[in-house]
Amino acid sequence: MTGKTALVTGGSRGIGRAISLRLARDGVRVAVHYGRDDQAAKQTVADIEALGGEAFAIKADLEEADSADRLWQAFDAEASGLDILVNNAAIIAPGPFAEQTQEQLARLFAVNVQAPFLLVQQGLSRLREGGRIINISSGVTRIAWPNDVAYSMTKGALNTMTLALAKELGPRGITVNSVAPGIIETDMNPWLADPVAADAAAAYSVFGRVGRPADVADVVAFVASEDARWMTGQYVDATGGSQL
Which residues are annotated as catalytic? Answer: 151
Parallel/antiparallel/unpaired status of strands 175-181 and 5-8? unpaired
Q: Residue 238: enclosing H or E segment and its boundaries?
A: strand 235-238
- For the purposes of burial, counting CB atoms within 10 Å of the CB of 104, is it exposed (0-12), middle (13-18) or buried (19 or more)? middle
Question: Could you count the other beta carbons within 10 Å of the beta carbon of residue 103?
Answer: 9
DSSP H or E run through 48: helix 38-50
In contact, 177 and 234? CB cutoff 8 Å: yes
Q: List residues bridging with 31 in a β-sheet.
A: 7, 56
Contact (CB, 8 A) for 149 and 109: no
What is the C-alpha separation between 50 and 88, in angstroms, rounded?
Answer: 23
Give the Cα separation of 150 and 62 in Å (integer).
17
CB of 33 closer than 8 Å to CB of 86: no
